[in-house]
């Protein structure tokens, strides 16, 4: 949509999926500006960047991504006075299994209480920025932290009234800037403007969109001495987002760009099962009292006759176990089946 909340009509979309399985795709919106993106690959989550442009060019658009589902409201149910028989049986079986663990595993035979532990952390240091030749500025402004900065016509409006000792007079695009108490050997009171490490004039500064600015840094007096006589009247350094290779675009919402982290395919984990056939098998193996899931295989494939085989170790506990099978046919038709088997003494 346009900034005035009206539909922008058919717009061109460029979709980027970040990460090792990333890629790029091009699509178009409906006349009302809506669009639907599908087919993302990846595990756990997928980071997506959507860029929109008008059919005739221009990126002054707003992209709003709809939430995938409404917020879940927790329900409070009255707790039963007595636990269900199935819960009681499960707790008894769990206690039996824990007792066997403590008896046959030395590392669970006793508990050692540790003293207080102090965990020290350090904020990660970002990679050095080659555009910055000084160590520290006297004042730093970040447009992303200033409400309404995206509506400013000039970068110099960010400084106006926000930095002590810096005067910004006039109106866009005819601003004049002066840092009080500073002047160059030529008698000029105009500071040196630096754009991504390169000295420029004030006219070049006025052409930079505020939404493309990462930081504005002001250097006064001794801090500006590294620029020599050119910085005698102070230095105003502007650093753009596109000039910083380390900038994280997910932190900002520039016009025509939207980022989202959407759920991807589940990252399958290896199911634990005992391996009694290994060479490291103990002389007196502990009893196997597993009472929950004995075996799980997420990627079984049948043969030409529609059959497959599995093998696994059962529990030592005499009980009845339930088997549940779910799958898809070659035509994509789902199927499910259940059964039972007994383990006796």
Residue 238 bridge partners (DSSP): 195, 216
SS3 content of the chain, % helix, strand, coil (to 5): 15, 25, 60
In sequence order, what are the beta bridge partners of 167?
178
State the pairing for strand pair 235-240/192-195. parallel
Q: What is the pLDDT of residue 122?
A: 79
- Tell me the per-residue pLDDT of 231-269, one tens digit each, with 9 for 90 and over: 888 999 999 887 765 555 555 555 667 777 777 777 777
The pLDDT, as a whole number, for residue 4 is: 47
Residues 42, 22: Cα–Cα separation, whole Å: 8
Residue 18 pLDDT: 66
Helix (H/G/I), strand (E/B), else coil: 343 = strand
Name which residue leads in pLDDT, 61 or 280: 61
The C-alpha atoms of residue 303 and residue 14 are separated, in whole angstroms, by 43
Q: What is the pLDDT of residue 218?
A: 93
Summarize pLDDT for 198-220 with one digit per residue, the tens: 888 888 887 787 888 889 999 99
pLDDT of residue 338: 93
CATH of 268-345, one of 3.30.1370, 2.20.130, 3.40.1360, 3.10.50: 2.20.130
pLDDT in the model for residue 261: 77
CATH assignment of 139-248, among 3.90.550.10, 1.10.3430.10, 2.170.130.10, 2.40.30.10? 2.170.130.10
Contact partners, residue 124, CB within 8 Å, separation at least 6: none
How is residue 210 annotated by DSSP? G
pLDDT score at 7: 66
| Averaged pLDDT score across all residues of the chain | 77
Percent above pLDDT 90 for the chain? 8
- Read off the pLDDT of each residue in 7-11 and give the average, rounded to a whole number: 73
What 3-state class would DSSP assign to 5?
Answer: coil
**Assessment of whether the complete model's pTM goes beyond 0.85:** no
pLDDT more than 70, % of the chain: 74
In this prediction, residue 2 carries a pLDDT of: 55
Kindly report, residue by residue over 121-141, the tens digit of the pLDDT. Answer: 877 766 677 788 888 889 999
Cβ contacts of 169 within 8 Å, gap of 6 or more? 175, 176, 178
């Amino acid at each position: 949509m346009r900034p005035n909340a009206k539909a922008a009509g058919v717009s061109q979309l460029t979709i980027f999926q970040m990460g090792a399985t990333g890629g790029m795709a091009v699509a178009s919106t409906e006349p009302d500006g809506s669009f639907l993106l599908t087919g993302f690959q990846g595990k756990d989550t997928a980071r997506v960047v959507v860029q929109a442009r008008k059919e005739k060019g221009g990126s002054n658009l707003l992209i709003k991504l709809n939430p995938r589902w409404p917020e879940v409201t927790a329900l409070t149910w009255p707790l039963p006075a007595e636990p269900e028989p199935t819960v009681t049986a499960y707790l008894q079986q769990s206690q039996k299994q824990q007792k066997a663990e403590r008896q046959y595993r030395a590392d669970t035979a006793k508990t050692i209480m540790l003293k207080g532990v102090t965990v020290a952390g350090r904020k990660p240091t970002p990679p050095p920025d080659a555009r910055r030749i000084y160590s520290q500025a006297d004042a730093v402004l970040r447009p992303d932290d200033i409400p309404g900065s995206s509506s400013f016509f000039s970068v110099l409006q960010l400084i106006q009234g926000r930095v002590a000792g810096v005067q910004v007079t006039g109106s866009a695009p005819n601003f004049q800037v002066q840092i009080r108490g500073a002047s160059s050997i030529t008698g000029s009171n105009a500071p040196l403007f630096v754009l991504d490490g390169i000295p420029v004039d004030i006219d070049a500064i006025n052409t930079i969109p505020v939404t493309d600015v990462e930081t504005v840094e002001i250097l006064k007096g001794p801090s500006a001495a590294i620029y020599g006589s050119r910085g005698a009247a102070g230095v105003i350094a502007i650093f753009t987002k596109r000039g910083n290779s380390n900038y994280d675009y997910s932190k900002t919402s520039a016009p025509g760009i939207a980022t989202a982290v959407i759920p991807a395919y589940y990252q399958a984990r290896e199911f634990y099962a005992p391996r009694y056939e290994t060479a490291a098998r103990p002389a007196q193996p502990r009893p196997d009292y597993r009472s929950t899931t004995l075996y799980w295989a997420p990627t079984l494939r049948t043969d030409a006759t529609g059959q497959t085989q599995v093998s696994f170790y059962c529990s030592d506990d005499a009980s009845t176990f339930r088997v549940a099978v779910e799958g898809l046919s070659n035509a994509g038709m789902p199927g499910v089946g259940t059964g039972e088997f007994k383990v006796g003494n």
